[in-house]
Amino acid sequence: MGDKRYIRDAVHGDIILPDDISRIIDTRSFQRLRYIQQLATCHYAFPSATHSRFSHSIGVYHLATRLVADLNERYPERISEQDSRLVPIAALLHDIGHPPFSHMFETPEIFATYADHEEWGRKIILCEECDLSSVLHDLLGEGIHRLLEIMEGSVGIPPFLHEIVSSQLDADRLDYLMRDQFVTGADVGGFDLERLMRAINISEDDHLVVSSESVSAVEAYLVTRWHMYQLVYFHKLTMLTSVYYVRALARARELHENGSLPLSLKMRDLLSNRSLTTYRYSQLTDPFVIADVFQWADHGDAILSGYAKRLSSRDEFHKQLRVELTAQQVEEIWQPLQKIVVGHGYDGEHDLIHAPLRKEGYLPYTEGILLEDGRDITEVSPLIQSISVTYAKSMVFVPAELRSECEELVMQFLDSIDS
């Protein structure tokens, strides 16, 4: 089998990497993930949340390896020798295509060549210029195509192979919930990983299912996930700084393309290169974005420098209105709020910020975790049913000195609706 490498992981303890996995990890394409933070701007609220897609991906590989070994023991001959090797590699590479700042930059507002991270991941795996591709071809040969089929959940692949990597209860979610809770220090109770792993079975129709006596373990997992979204992923500072970054880069593109802002090569690739190659994409990381944004704090354009100064100094942040509003209510009150902001000499577009969690709201759980008898877990768990409603919350931010006046206006508006 060759040499093994041991990695000491803060969450899982010792992780063993066989020689072929080390070869994949040692490529430039994979090492790039060291320089992409898992939680984007979450460190503005939780200073220790600076872990990377690199450590997360290795954790997902570890959990997928354990799960495949356990399933092989309990279901002999259901997983071929080839698939037993490919599934952990698929888990290892599930985030290989992430852009700088992860999901935050997965938007056409940033990229001139927008595609989601799964699409870029496929391109990197197949790109002859990228060193990962040559290593995978050397290790897997034609098996690289089955690797992609497992990652994508293609027709003809037993569904549970893909579900180990991507589903409502997969190695990815198990790792990021444990890792993100650990590094943020969010005390949300947690879940029993060992019990949950033992509860996962393969159904006769080739799906992952959980044993009916383990419903409470799944409940703890989903409640942890619900709390992490409420307290960490949707924290007001995370949401606000995400808006600052996206708007700063959108403004930079506008200034660059009208000739008033020179950009570094990598920033041009990100914002304005409409024929960006996969190899050039695979060179993009967080640090160059941070460096350029910090530099823009001294630019003459007030809009660009305004966002950049806030991100580089954490000063003059907008304040969230302490009134809960739906997206529809925000739309109805928007013009009166703009009137207040503009009336005090602020910019009606850039100093009044709406940060909806998602346009359609966030669903902590959608159907997909099945029991052995085929029922969705919500059918037997009132607890899961109660947290499976849409969580739609709109955050509105205004200049600090205007918060009280804006809140008063909003309260009057809500009172008029109630009456």
Q: Which residues are known catalytic residues?
A: 117
Q: Which residues contact 255 (CB under 8 A, 6 or more apart)?
A: 261, 301, 304
Q: Which residues contact 354 (CB under 8 A, 6 or more apart)?
A: 330, 334, 394, 395, 396, 397
Question: Which amino acid is residue 349, in one-letter code?
Answer: E
Residue 102 backbone zone (phi > 0: left; psi -120 to 50: alpha; other: beta)? left
Output the CA torsion sign for 33, 38, 43, 49.
Answer: negative
Among candidate residues 141, 142, 161, 143, the one with its CA nearest the CA of residue 151: 161
- Helix runs in 81-214, H state only: 81-92, 117-126, 131-140, 143-152, 159-165, 171-184, 193-199
Residue 6: strand pairing partners: 16
- C-alpha distances out from residue 379 to 58, 182, 295, 370, Å: 34, 31, 54, 10
